[in-house]
Chain A
Amino acid sequence: MACFSSLPALAHTSLERYVRETVSVSVGTENIDIRIQFSFPSDLSLAERQRMDRDGDGKISKQEKDAYLTDFQARAERLMRMTVNGKTLPLIPLEDTVLDLEDAPGVEAHPHELRLACFARMPKNFAVGGTIVLESGLWAEAPLMVAVSMETAGGIRFHAADTQGLRAPSEDGAMLRITEACCTQWESGNNKNGR
């Protein structure tokens, strides 16, 4: 089993110790698409790569990548929560998760990225004043540098709370509020998926 235990001694260190979490939320009349990219600087990448390398041979085989991704998917399902008007919606994988080791396939201090895409079904009765909240416990135990962008279909607008920037590690592994947005305009357009 890959180990996803908390990142040791990373609380509040330099920016090179921050996992970058780039979140894109795309809202349409039928679906809410979420794309998240986790970028690991060199030192953090080394620690993650060591976790991927189950047999400790210094190389990351396809089987090890697949196993890491399987564990990550399970973890993402457990540690991500989308609520619309306070009600939790299932987050459904939209694409297979990608582990991009960036031309450095072995266990070494070299940046890498994890990209996941999922979606939720927009409730039929959504209207102006409705809220969308995305919470995540993924790497919440590490310092995070969060960037969030929100796209909407024509005729739809949201006002997003300020959730970006440097985020301290959460206490007790609690989920972090990554996106919190309130609908200010909701006119059904043709675009169902926000893009």
Chain B
Amino acid sequence: MMMQKLILGTVILMLGMGAACAAQDRDPLPGAVGMADALLQRHEYLRDSIDREKLDAVHRDLREAEHVLRKPAPDADDKKEALEKRGDASKRLLELLQAASCAQTVRMSSQTAMTAPLAPVHLPGDSAAFLFRVENGEGPVQCKVSLLDLSVAAGTHLGISDIPKGTTWVLAGLDRIPQGRISHRFEFTADGDGELTVPFETVTLAHGLLGVRVLSDDTGKPAPAMIRLEWKTDGSEAKPANALDFAVLFDNQGSATGLRRANIPGKLGARYWCIPGPFEMALPPGEYSVTVLRGIEHAPVQDTVTVESNKTVTRSYRPERWVNMAKTGWYSGDDHVHTQILSDRDAGLVMNWIQAEDVHLANIVKMGDIYRTWFEQRGFGKSFRVEDGGYILSPGQECPRTHEELGHTLAMNITGMVRNTDQYYLYDKVFDEVHRQGGLSGYAHTNSDSFYVHRDMSINIPKGKVDFAEVLQFAKLGTDLYYDFLNLGCKVTASAGSDVPWGGSVGEVRVYAHTGKKKFTADRWFDAVRRGNTFVTNGLMLDFTVQGAGPGEEVDVTDNRPLRVKARAWGDARRDVPAKLEIIVHGAPVKTVVPEGADQASLEADFTIPSGNGFWIAAKAEGRDGTRAHTTPVYVVRKGLRFWKYDGLAELITRQEASLAEVEHIVAEAQAGRDPNGEANPDLPVTEMAKQGPALLERVAAAKQLYAELRATAEHEATLRK
């Protein structure tokens, strides 16, 4: 009967430099790098019989030597050093192999033979590794790695072929081993005559059950959460039995899955599933590391759970709320969440997600470009908001959204989608209609000046048509553009949005709006954003007042007098603590506070600053692990003067005029049938830009006039400023 042989991916890694190599260049242990790689990857299955730290050091030395030796013409000294390093590391690897108690010695002969069965091997899961020392007469020593996937074929005869003369160390890695007690055979075939069969059994332990429930620290009741389960045996991730799959919500855009890689600086930046409540699931026995997140106001839970075969282990986690911002009237929001909501089921999925991340309000944005839309909504306006226990989904839009022309815009709290592709480049039309509907208009991605958003900002911010700008996204705080417009004396609210499914998870960056002591409602939250009572963060919290006025508020002065500035940045050591608190005036720090001790969780500033001729002033914080926070400014307004950066105006205005010139250029290109890159292009964005160009140029002209008026105002103020 023909024996089924399963030979998949037998790998011999030869380090030899070819026949022409000098004798001293000869590899003392061919295949050593591949063996060290595989031993490290399969280390957990070798019953700790090889010292991992020593193995890691050997592996790095081998890799380092190989890196030099495979260069076409390495420096002679480098080569000599690498050869010595390789020789030494090969020797150390051999010593580790020889000392490995798990290694089985088998001897080939010219006959077909069978050894006595190996002792049954009890496995923690469905993978294994076997280390053999195969003796095949006289000859050199080498290493060989064989990876065998038992799911590919039904047979259990595992072929390891081409065993050369000499001694060969073989690491046989097995994957997807069936459950229970299974009989297998390794079949070693010599490079020439001889075949040796080694029977063995694997015993895969029955699974155990893990039950997990996560409790709200506010109510003590089960709550949605973000969770990560990792099997410590091999580092693989387990998907919780009730993990929510968001793919259906994402229109096949971005990272269209429920497994979310959170853009959180530091060690928490990993992949998590969202669970709506308690779950129980079968898992291979072993230790699991469990990480539970419930948004930035909660400390993460990190635990190790041992799952035993045929037993149930349960865990109840209650992530501690280290700060309750809502109690002080600050409610979190995410201005940029892309999900389809066409049914209660869709809404339920997203609601679970924002509750898991403890984000009180999500601006759920339908997205468009000049061609089409994505992330459809069943409707807009108050009647299409979804509310549950102080958490709100509110439909909005990211449209207009042009990639090579004017940037992406956002709208919140709208009663209907505002979209007219015949006027797609006339963003002011959309801003006006959004305002007419009672909504808020803003720009996305200003933190990284993506999609040339600076161009439309130069047209519409000075006209007062824009409420907010995203300055924190994808873990990046970017304030260059934001500061430019504040420095011109334009009020703009700082906002933040995750941009899922391109971002990691809802609320990974968030905007806090101060709604006051009254009951939290969406309308109050939007009003707070409209007033600029916000700060943005992805970890740290900020308190900031100037003469008692908070972010977005004005301090009106009639003379030069001292103003009291109070600021505090704070965090929690289990997430992040502040490494720096800065008070920013006109874009530059006027006060910097750093911690005095390693684990100081709070930094404070309390000082006075002269009101002078007015300014904008904000608080900014950086965390030790790289989180960031920034407030909308307090505006100190001296009667009769703008709060702008008077000394830098010429440069600032010139920069905006250059942006306007870019717009004029792309219109001219479109009218000549070319795209913004100067290439002939008949596509819709170009033809529409050509058609809409004259109207857009009217707006550019109006903006130019505004900048001219600002110059005149500056001249006028010269006499007033003392």
Q: Show the binding face of A for B, using Cβ within 8 Å.
A: 9, 11-18, 22, 31, 39, 41-42, 90, 92-96, 119, 121, 143, 145-151, 157, 159-160, 162-168, 184-185, 192-193
B382 at the interface (CB under 8 A from A): no
Q: How far is the CB of B451 from chain A (nearest CB, A)?
A: 6
With A15-B499, A92-B67 as contacts: A149 and B267 at CB distance below 8 Å: yes
Of B60, B478, B622, which contacts A165 at CB under 8 A?
B478
- The answer to whether B474 has its CB under 8 Å from any CB of chain A is yes
Contact present for B476 and A92 (CB under 8 Å): no
B476 contacts A165, CB within 8 Å? yes
A146, A147, A150, A160: which has the most chain B beta carbons within 10 Å? A147
| Distance (whole angstroms) from the CB of A151 to the closest CB of chain B | 6
Give CA–CA (A185, B599) in the complex, Å: 12
B175 within 8 A of A: no
**Cα distance A52–B447 in the bound complex, in angstroms:** 35
Answer whether residue B502 sits at the interface, using C-beta atoms and an 8 A cutoff.
yes
- Residue of A145, A148, A162, A185 near B502 (CB, 8 A) is A145
Interface of chain B residues 236 through 252 with chain A (CB within 8 A): 252
- A-B contacts counted at CB < 8 A amount to 101
Rounded to whole angstroms, the CA-CA distance of A66 and B401 in the bound complex is 40
Cβ–Cβ < 8 Å partners of B478 in chain A: 162, 165
B450 A151 Cβ-Cβ under 8 A: no
A1 smallest CB distance to B (angstroms): 16
CA–CA, A166 and B504, complex, Å: 13
Which of B149-157, B185-193, B258-266, B635-643 contacts its partner? B258-266
Q: Mark B261-277, 1 if CB is under 8 A from A, else 0.
A: 10101110100000000
Which residues on B sit within 8 Å (CB–CB) of A192?
53
CB distance from B522 to the nearest CB of A (A): 27
Main SS at interface, chain B? loop
Which residue of A17, A143, A164, A167 contacts B475 across the interface (Cβ within 8 Å)?
Answer: A164
Closest to A161 in B: B626
Does B674 count as interface, using CB distance less than 8 angstroms? no
Provide the residues of chain A in CB contact with B60, threshold 8 Å.
31, 92, 94, 119
Per DSSP, chain A at the interface is strand
Query: Are A149 and B474 interface neighbours, CB within 8 A?
Result: no
Q: A93-B63, A150-B266 are in contact. Are A13 and B502 (CB under 8 A)?
A: no
Q: Choose one: A22, A94, A159; the contact of B261 (CB below 8 Å).
A: A22
**Chain A nearest Cβ from B620, distance in angstroms:** 11
Cα separation A100 to B266 with both chains bound (whole Å): 26
Cα A171 to Cα B452 in complex, Å, equals 16
Bound CA span A93–B60, Å? 9
Would you list 22 pairs from A and B whose C-beta atoms are within 8 A, ordered by A residue? Answer: A11-B677, A12-B404, A39-B255, A90-B64, A90-B67, A92-B60, A92-B63, A92-B64, A92-B67, A93-B67, A147-B261, A150-B625, A151-B267, A160-B626, A164-B474, A164-B475, A165-B447, A165-B474, A165-B475, A166-B476, A167-B448, A184-B579
Q: How far is the CB of B422 from chain A (nearest CB, A)?
A: 21
CB neighbours (8 Å) of B450 from chain A are: 12, 143, 166, 168
Q: Are B476 and A162 interface neighbours, CB within 8 A? A: yes
Give 1 or 0 for each of B444-460: 1 = CB within 8 Å of chain A CB: 01011111100000000
The answer to whether B403 has its CB under 8 Å from any CB of chain A is: yes
Let me know if B43 is at the binding interface, CB within 8 A.
Answer: no
Q: Which residues of A contact B253 (CB under 8 A)?
A: 16
| Complex: A105 Cα to B399 Cα, angstroms | 36
Query: Nearest B residue to A42 by beta-carbon distance?
Result: B252
Residues of A within 8 A of B37 (CB): 95-96
> Which residues of B approach A to under 8 Å, CB–CB?
37, 53, 56, 60, 63-64, 67, 252-255, 261, 263, 265-267, 269, 369, 401, 403-404, 445, 447-452, 473-478, 499, 502, 504, 579, 598, 622, 624-626, 628, 677, 679
Given the interface pairs A94-B63, A149-B269, the reply to whether A185 lies near B628 with Cβ below 8 Å is no
Q: Complex: how many Å from CA A18 to CA B625?
A: 26
Please tell me if the beta carbons of A149 and B266 are within 8 angstroms of each other in the complex: yes
Kindly state the separation between the CA atoms of A150 and B268 in the bound complex, as whole angstroms: 10
In the complex, which of the residues A90, A96, A147, A166 contacts B269, with contact meaning CB atoms closer than 8 Å? A147
Closest to B403 in A: A13
Query: In the docked arrangement, what's the CA distance between A135 and B445, Å?
Result: 23
CB-nearest residue of chain B to A96: B37
User: Please, how many angstroms separate the alpha-carbon atoms of A95 and B62 in the complex?
Assistant: 12
The distance from the CB of B439 to the nearest CB of chain A, in whole angstroms, is 23
Contact A14/B448 with A150-B626, A184-B579 known, Cβ cut-off 8 Å: no
Query: Which residues from chain A contact B598 at a C-beta distance below 8 Å?
Result: 185
Residues of B within 8 A of A146 (CB): 474
Determine if A13 and B475 form an interchain contact, defined as CB atoms under 8 angstroms apart: no
Q: Which residues of the other chain, B, contact A148 by a CB distance below 8 angstroms?
A: 265
Minimum distance in angstroms from A178 CB to a CB of chain B: 13
Q: Which 6 A-B pairs have the closest CB atoms?
A: A165-B476, A166-B448, A149-B269, A165-B474, A164-B476, A164-B475
Q: In the complex, what residue of chain B is closest to A160 when comparing beta carbons?
A: B626
Contact B403 A14 (CB under 8 A): yes
- CB-CB under 8 A from B401, the residues of chain A are 14
Which of A15, A16, A162 has its CB near the most chain B CB atoms (within 10 A)? A15
The interface centre, meaning the residue of B263, B449, B478, B679 with most chain A CB atoms within 10 A of its CB, is: B263
New A-B contacts (13) at CB < 8 Å, excluding given A159-B579, A165-B475: A12-B451, A16-B253, A42-B252, A90-B67, A96-B37, A119-B60, A146-B474, A149-B269, A165-B478, A166-B448, A166-B474, A166-B476, A168-B450
Chain B nearest CB: distance from A127 CB in Å? Answer: 17
Residue contact A164 to B67, C-beta cutoff 8 Å: no
A168 CA / B504 CA spacing, docked (Å): 20
CB distance from B665 to the nearest CB of A (A): 15
